[in-house]
Structure 1
Amino acid sequence: MCGFVGFVDEERGYDRLSVLQAMAAAIAHRGPDAEGLFDDGRCALGFRRLAIIDLEGANQPLLNEDGSLVLVFNGEIYNYRELRRRLTAAGHVFSTEGDGEVLVHGWEQWGPKLLDQLRGMFAFALYNRATGELFCARDAFGIKPLYYTAEGRRLLFGSEIKGLLPHPRFQRRLNEGRLATYLCMEYQPDDETLFEGVRKLPAGHWMRWRDGVLERQRWFFPRFTDAGKAPRGSLDRNAALIADTLRDSVATHAVADVEVGCFLSAGVDSSLVAHEAARIMDARTFTVGWGEEAYSELAAAADFAKATGLRNRQRVIDDRTFFASVPAVQYAMDEPLPNPSAVPLYHLCHMAAEDVKVVMSGEGADELFGGYPYYQECLAFEPYGAVPAPLRRAAARAASHLPEGTHGRRYLMRGAEPFARRYLRWEYNFTFAEANELLHPDLGGTSSADAQASTPLPPWALGRDLVGEVLGGAPDEVTAMQTLDILLWMQQDILLKADKMSMAASLELRVPFLDREMFAIASRLPTGQRVSRRETKVALRAAAARTLPPRTAAMPKKGFLTPLASWLKRDRWAAELREVFHSETARRYFDVARLDQLLADHQAGRARNMKKLWACYCFLLWHDQYFR
């Protein structure tokens, strides 16, 4: 696990090596063990290493035999030994024992088709010194990030946005037209960021840069091949297949020349990973929680660890610790991310990094195997969906006049909405109208996704093409929702948070569920073995029931809950937010009176505004670290 930065630029008006060193230093937390630099006057590559495999060798940048190809790579290739044997048989000569070198020789052998053969998490940049071409790629699910910005014949790129900032030609500007989208969704659903001109290479994509021309192409799309409701293998058979495949995936992900630990919550996903890890090593596990028992999983995690013989280290986070670390969390994220679970994850990673260099975690199981309760809503709405749309809209209008909490009100209203508005997180936080009312009237930014528009595009307009593509290829709404969550929520929130929080602690985080063999199983499960009206993750829970305690296998989805909503009602923390809400930055971007009202309503119990308040607070803390 590492980080890299680089630029393609033939300008001579600055000290290239000093700039490259400064860019690499900005991401030193991703790789505190070693630094590597390369510059041929056209392409400069900087690398920071966290040594995991081949500790003494495998430093980067890596070159092929004749020095014509130069690689920087972040991630792990879990099938590198198999690929190395094939490439050696084909005549390639290796100079290290690390996994990254298979990318160099694999490119020589297969070109872009190399990507289809990789089992791992990765973002890499491969430079051809003879042609001047730079080829970059990102793994299928977006476990590892890659950012870039292009202007004229200059390209800057790297593992984190903060690695681009030291370049003297980088223009640091806020992408104001995307603030409404951030307030609605908590992230950008496409390749844009809140830094004007900085883009994310999407998961499952590669890009090629040559002579100032950028080409970008998708190489992987997460398609579920299930034939709707048709049975495909018995539940017992598929549960056994999941159990066997996960066992292999965990064993593959455990390969390292350093100690590997596991995160452990009370849920089925991390418990399965930790249990499988315990079969092959004396696995340490790590858990964080709260003093408020209603939110904490400490006791359940301790019980599971005791029952299965796992070592478990725990840490309690209180409100002071939580709030004190928020600025560091937002800085580490590169872009503001107001998911409160980022804060405990930050502390969990730092605790684990005191003992190990690598951890395994359960991310991805919910998206692949159908773990979110709102997937069940798709099934509940099926009968209502057969009612003609005009009648449903009329019922929704009538229901909207009923008091909140009235039985059936939510069902009638949500069931009348089209799929994209009903299930996607387009207005997960603020509605688009609320966001525009909250933003300062003088802001008037224009989204670069539609430069001719006088107002920012609503988030659902940004994702219209993607939704159409997914719905066109999905057999049902459950499958469409899973696919879109893999492409959006998981990539832009879950995995981004996991990468940035772990790397802030110089810790490698591996995710055995997000393995190509695991997805091959999940993608072929019939819908009913993913989600039923009674249960989520049906087949995965059946697999868990074969080895885990019954209470753990049946544990409902809880998420990484925090007591933040209740803390924000306390005068101490409300005053903290109020001070930030009255800052110069807040007055520049928001209607401060509306911020005050949101906070007052939350404190008085008139509304549950935690998510809205936290989105604004996190943006303001992030902004002042990057733009003041």
Structure 2
Amino acid sequence: MCGICGFTQATSADAPALKAMCDIMAHRGPDGEGQYLDAESGIALGHRRLSLIDLANGNQPMVRATGEHDSAITSPALMPDGTPCGTPESMLAKGDFAIVFNGEIYNYQDLRAELETQGWQFKTKSDTEVLLTGYLAWGEGVLDRLRGMFAFAIWNRATRELFCARDFFGIKPFYYTQQNGQFIFASEIKCILEHPAYTRELNREALEQYLCFQFSALPETFFKGIFKLAPAHCMTVHADGSITERRYWRPEYHFDENRNREDTARAIDEVMRDSVRYHNVADVEVGSFLSSGIDSSYMAACLAKENPDIKTFTVGFECYKQAAANNAEGAGGKTMRDEISWARELADDLHIANTDKYIGEEEYWASLPRVQWHMDEPSADPSAVALYFVDQIAATQVKAVLSGEGADEFFGGYRIYQTPFSNAKVSWAPKGLLKGASHAMRALHLRGANYLERASETPEDWYYTNANGVAFTPDERARLLKGGCSAPTPQSLTAPVYAEAAGLDDTTRMQYVDLYFWLVGDILLKTDKMSMAHSLESRVPFLDRRVFDLSATIPTALKANEQQTKLTLRDAAEFAIPKDWAQKEKLGFPVPVVNWLREDRYYTMVKEWFTGDIAREFFNTDELVRLLDEHKEGADRSRKIWIVYMFLMWYKIYFVDRTVPEKPEAH
């Protein structure tokens, strides 16, 4: 896990810019720094290293000569104090290749053995050398052989071309821009902002879609002209500045209708244990998150089979600790059991170590500016802050952790995926009748209007992310934005993705859309940014190609039904954790923002933001205050409030103050 950056058309005068780009992302790699600038070929490459594999020799940028099976590997890397790790002078002879790589190739040892049978020799034990050598041996075909998470760039000095690629599911970020023909890329947007060729400008279309999605949903980021390389895509930047981009992999579903539930559960357990085994490959200790959900519980139990001495980490909220002690109500009026009490119970049952932390409201609110700075783009997911704190405590004991992202998208874990099953109850009724009944019920303020409306439509008509129902509708954002809004509807953005999944059942189509929007835009973004904020690598065993390939053969009826989610994944988890845990209801991670925003203190604080200069620039502030007042009076408007509040805070950091927020004090 590292941070990478670079740019083409580099000159000898660009060394300070490259250094600044590396420095701003020092949190991604405190163990080493590498900078390579070749003015002759016009390339600058930078790297910050978090060392997990081949701690002594895996420095980057890494260089290898083409056509030489036994050529030397060199690394122009520097330690944070400026001490050379390798040879800092120019080392790229004509025909050489150089790489900067962020991520982990978990099957690098398998690939190395295969390359060695072809005559290739290696000077290090790093996965970076295997990746670069694999590219020399197989070209772009190396991508089909990789098992891992990655974003990398490889420079070909002979052709003066830069080849870039991002992993299958978008676990690792890759941002880029072109400025007057100069290609600039980095692991974080803030690195690109350090380059003098880029002048920051807000992309207002990104704001318009953010209000509906609660995250940055477009290929172009919130910064005008800065884009995201899409998951499972690669690109070649040619010597003339033109770009050729292609999609090298597409998720495909081939349901095996002959599967039964028991055999499927065993197959899931087998592939998950194999994935966890590969994700445990490192020269440092790998820990695991542990929450009340089955995803992290199952994963931690699998890791415990590989290493009985594993360390696990959990966070909860101080207010829920007291609520649980009093058997009181938490957010949403539901009786809450403290998250930490769940984790302690399972850790005791599995005989594994667990470290936990209660998050107080003072430190939660104090952390918000730092969280938004690390996120690069505004994120309105309140759980990102909880992730910030669990990463913080994990980083004090380990350098890498396993996390449960991807299980819901692969195995049907979100409750919203059950909607098509409940809609089937009224499939006999004409769609027009259902829609008319929905309108009538809504006019009479009767419950059930949403159900009938969704039953009258297909998922592409109404479902675009898990933010459905809590974020702003297109009509609401038009009223909210100053000057209105003419942006395309969210459904227009998801329509091409739905078209790719034509012919699949409704639940699978919703899962498919989530792979391209919710998973990469919300879940994986906060996973990467919050872990890297603390120089911690977050590994995601569910998001493994072999795990997906198996999940894509499991019929939807074995994933979810009207009564339950993740049917066969829960069955598989029973091989590792108690049945009561494997089969319990999905709770998510409740953040007490709903209640906090009704307190005078936070109501007043947010109202000051909602009536301030920044808010008046973008929004009709009367609408913002109305949302706050409705929430204070009992209606739940918390997610809408949070979406706007986080944007305002983010904008102030990146466009008004333009400074790095201070780290909140650890408690």
For Structure 1 versus Structure 2, the TM-score category normalised by the shorter chain is: over 0.9
What is the rounded CA distance, in whole Å, between the counterparts of 1:325 and 1:178 in structure 2? 24
Quick one: higher RCO (CA 8 Å, sep 6+), 1 or 2? 1
Give the aligned partner of residue 15 of structure 2: 17
**Which one is further off, 71-80 or 184-193?**
184-193
Kept in 1: contact 2:507–2:556 (CA 8 A)? yes
CA distance in 2, matches of 1:306, 1:361: 20
Q: Is the 8 A contact 2:609 2:615 kept in 1?
A: yes
What amino acid is aligned across from residue 25 of structure 1 in structure 2? D
What secondary structure sits across from 1:532 in the alignment? coil
Q: Which amino acid aligns with 2:59?
A: N
Paired residue for 2:423? Answer: 381
Is 1:309 matched with 2:340? Answer: no
Name the structure 2 match of 1:419. 459
- Give the corresponding residue for 1:237: 263
Query: 2:432 — aligned with what?
Result: 390
After TM superposition, list the pairs within 5 Å mapping 1:166-315 onto structure 2.
166-210=194-238, 211-226=240-255, 231-281=257-307, 282-291=309-318, 292=320, 293=324, 294=336, 296-315=338-357
Q: Is the 8 A contact 1:232 1:526 kept in 2?
A: no
Kindly provide the CA deviation profile for residues 450-503 of structure 1, in whole angstroms up to 9, marking residues without a partner as x: xxxxx3222222222222222x1x420011111111111001100111000000
Shift, 1:94, TM fit: 1.4
Contact 1:399–1:412 under 8 Å retained in 2 = no
CA contact 1:372–1:536 (8 Å) conserved in 2 = yes
C-alpha displacement at 1:295, in angstroms?
Answer: 6.2
Q: Percent identity of the aligned residues?
A: 43
How far did residue 427 of structure 1 move? 4.9
Match of 1:339 in 2: 381
Contact 1:295 1:562 in 2 (8 A): no
Contact 1:235–1:529 (8 Å) recurs in 2: yes
Q: 1:392 Cα deviation (Å)? A: 2.4
Q: Match of 2:443, SS? A: coil
The reply on whether 1:51 has 2:91 as its aligned counterpart is: no
2:370 maps to amino acid: A
Q: Which amino acid aligns with 1:215?
A: T
Could you tell me which of 426, 430, 437 is aligned with 2:479? 437
- 1:131 is matched with 159
Q: CA RMSD in A?
A: 1.5
Report which stretch shifted further, 133-142 or 546-555: 546-555
Give 1:314 deviation, angstroms: 0.6
What is the CA–CA distance in structure 2 between the aligned matches of 1:295 and 1:65, rounded to whole Å? 59
Equivalence for 2:496:
465
1:585 paired residue number: 614
Match of 2:72 in 1: none
Matched, 1:325 2:367: yes
Shift of 1:89: 1.5
Instruction: Please give the alpha-carbon distance, in whole angstroms, between the structure 2 residues aligned to 1:401 and 1:100.
Output: 61
Given that 1:65 and 1:93 are in contact with CA atoms closer than 8 Å, whether structure 2 keeps it comes out as: no
Q: What is the number of residues matched between the two proteins?
A: 607
Q: Deviations over 1:105-161 (max 9, x none)?
A: 111111111101000000000110110110100010110000011133211101010
Deviation string 1:270-314 (CA, Å, 9 cap, x unpaired) is: 011110111121110000001213263111111000011010111
Q: What's the offset of the Cα at 1:190?
A: 3.3
User: Over residues 357-397 of structure 1, what are the superposed CA-to-partner deviations in whole Å (9 max), with x where a residue is unaligned?
Assistant: 00001111111011111111111112434433322222222
Equivalence for 1:447: none
User: Partner of 1:35: helix, strand, or coil?
Assistant: strand
Aligned to 2:665: none
Shift, 1:185, TM fit = 0.6
Amino acid at match of 2:273: R
Deviation of residue 85 (structure 1)?
0.8
| Aligned amino acid, residue 262 of structure 1 | S
The 5-angstrom pairing of residues 401-416 of structure 1 reads 401-404=443-446, 406=447, 408-416=448-456
Match of 2:520 in 1: 491
Counterpart residue number, 1:356: 398
* Alpha-carbon offset, residue 328 of structure 1: 0.6
Contact 1:4 1:72 in 2 (8 A): yes
Native 8 Å contact 2:459 2:510 kept in 1: no
Opposite residue 234 of structure 1, the aligned amino acid is N
Residue 587 of structure 1 aligns with an amino acid whose one-letter code is R
Query: 2: CA distance between counterparts of 1:95 and 1:171?
Result: 42
* 1:92-107 equivalent positions in 2, closer than 5 A: 92-107=120-135
Q: SS in structure 1 opposite 2:342?
A: helix
SS of the equivalent of 1:164 reads helix
1:542 corresponds to 2:571: yes
Matched, 1:572 2:614: no
Q: Residues 53 and 46 from structure 1, CA distance in 2 versus in 1: closer, same or farther, beyond 3 angstroms? A: same
| CA distance, structure 2, for counterparts of residue 402 and residue 416 of structure 1 | 19
Alignment correspondent of 2:26: 28
Unaligned runs of 5+ in 2: 67-91, 325-335, 657-667
Query: Which portions of structure 1, spanning 4 or more consecutive aligned residues, are displaced by more than 4 angstroms?
Result: none
Displacement of 1:589 in angstroms is 1.0
Matches within 5 A, 1:157-168: 157-168=185-196
Q: Which residue, out of 563, 578, 583, partners 1:554?
A: 583
Moved more, 351-360 or 410-419: 410-419
For residues 565 and 138 of structure 2, the distance between their equivalents in structure 1, rounded to whole angstroms, comes to 40
The residue that corresponds to 1:452 in the other structure is none
Instruction: Write out aligned runs for 1:63-78 (5 A).
Output: 63-65=63-65, 67=92, 68-78=96-106
Is the 1:77–1:118 Cα contact (8 Å) retained in structure 2?
A: yes
Distance 1:560 1:427 in 2: 18
2:37 maps to 1:39: yes
Q: 2:3 is matched with which residue? A: 3
| One-letter amino acid of the structure 2 residue matched with residue 157 of structure 1 | F
Q: Would the alpha carbon gap of residues 362 and 427 (structure 1) be closer, same or farther in structure 2, given more than 3 Å must change?
A: closer
The aligned amino acid for 1:436 is: A
Q: After superposition, give the CA deviation of every residue in 1:208-234 in whole Å (9 maximum; x if it has no partner).
A: 11011011111112222116xxx3322
Mapped partners of 1:393, 1:573: distance in 2: 40
* Distance in 1 (alpha carbons) for counterparts of 2:431 and 2:539: 45
Structure 1: runs of 5+ lacking an equivalent: 445-454
**What SS does the aligned partner of 1:170 have?**
coil
Q: Give the Cα–Cα distance (whole angstroms) in 2 for the partners of residues 525 and 194 of structure 1.
A: 38
Contact 2:52–2:283 (8 Å) recurs in 1? yes
CA contact (8 A) 2:150 2:172 kept: yes
Alignment TM-score, normalising by the size of structure 2: 0.89
How far residue 239 of structure 1 moved from its aligned partner, in angstroms, is: 0.7
Pairwise CA distance, 1:178: 2.4
Q: In the alignment, what sits opposite 1:509? A: 538
8 A Cα contact 1:222 1:486, kept in partner:
no
Letter in 1 for 2:450: R
Looking at structure 1, the residues matched to 507 and 451 of structure 2 have their Cα atoms a distance apart, in angstroms, of: 17
1:61 positional shift: 0.4
Partner of 2:144: 116
Give the secondary structure class of the aligned counterpart of 1:199.
Answer: strand
Residues 53 and 127 in structure 2, CA contact (< 8 A), matched pair in contact too: yes
2:332 counterpart residue number:
none
In structure 2, relative to structure 1, the CA distance for the partners of 1:132 and 1:623 (3 Å cut) is: same
